[in-house]
Every structure is written in structure tokens, then in C-alpha cells.
Amino acid sequence: MAKIDPSLYLRNQKQERTPSPDLGKDEFLKILMVQLQNQDPTNPMDDREFIAQMAQFSSLEQMMNMSKSIDALVESQLISPVIKYSHMLGREVTYQAYDKETGQKTEIVSSKVVAVSQKDGWAILELENGEKIYADAVLQVNDPEAKKDDEQPEDSKNEGKKS
């Protein structure tokens, strides 16, 4: 006669269980399976109820996925403005200047970015001419190194090239 393994006795099973405050999709499916297994055979669950529960489950899963996506979006938006605009260092920016006393537009000014800082979550570009402007005030960005290449005479550009 075969012996029963004592480790399979119910009294040997782990009695403690750690409850979770979250009800995920796995728990929902377990509950649904138990409900289906233990339904009254004389009064089985209506298929409309079952379909409605599955639709609710599907909606719940999509909401959870959307929530994760929104969290990821918010996290990506929280990147420091200093890091976000650090590529502007050494670039020449063009912006609209304003008269400090009257607030009237004066002229379009260009200057090289020497530092990037932040104030109240907004990126501030510190310029070679001593001005500090918000990054969203920039009208145009130029690479001063590209201008140097463009200013070379045609002979020096073609130097080293064989015809």
C-alpha cells in the first residue's frame, strides 16, 4: 500500500498569509474562477453576468495600463530643465529684447549661451552679453562653429580635394 507524504497534510501547510491592499488582475481571475467552480448547479451564473464581469475586468486592466503610462509621462516631464537645455551651451541664440523701464520691444538680439540655470522649474539661459532669458523666449538657435566653416573662402574649403 502506498504511503501518504506527511508534508502534504493540511496542518503542515503554511498558516500565515500576508494580505495585499491591491487587487490586481491575477486576484480578480482567481476570484472569478472560484465563483465559477462554486456556483449553484441548479441556478448557474447567467452568461450576461459573466460577460459583464469580463468586460469590467478588461476595462480595469486598460485603466491600470493607462495609469502606468501617465506615470511614465509625468516622470519624463520632471527631468531638470538644466539637463534638458544643457545642449544649448556654446550655441548662439536670437531673442526679442525689451526695454527694462517701459517693457516695450526694442530689437532682436543674438548672443552666445554660457550657462543654463533654473528658476521655479523654468530653464534660464545666461548669455555672453550678461542677459538672462527664459529658454522659451528664444527665436532662433545657431551653431557658431558652423558659421566659421561657412566664412572660409571657397579655395580653403576645396583644399585637399583632388579633381
**Burial track 131-159 (b if 16+ CB lie within 10 A, e otherwise):** eebebeebeeeeeeeeeeeeeeeeeeeee
Asked if residue 114 lies in contact with residue 77, where contact means CB atoms within 8 angstroms, the answer is no
**Model confidence band, residue 24 (pLDDT cutoffs 50, 70, 90):** low
| Burial zone of 53 (CB within 10 Å; 0-12 exposed, 13-18 middle, 19+ buried) | middle
| Confidence band for 35, pLDDT divided at 50, 70 and 90 | confident
**pLDDT digits 0-9 by tens, 109-138:** 888 999 988 887 788 899 998 888 888 888
- All three cell numbers of 121, joined, read 522649474
Grid cell digits, residue 86: 544643457
pLDDT value of position 154? 56
Residue-averaged pLDDT of the chain: 77
Q: What is the pLDDT of residue 66?
A: 92
pLDDT per residue as tens digits for the range 77-103: 767 777 888 888 888 998 888 888 887
Query: Tell me: the pLDDT tens digits for 61-81?
Result: 888 889 999 988 887 776 777
The residue-averaged pLDDT of 27-32 equals: 76
Q: What is the mean pLDDT of residues 56-61?
A: 82
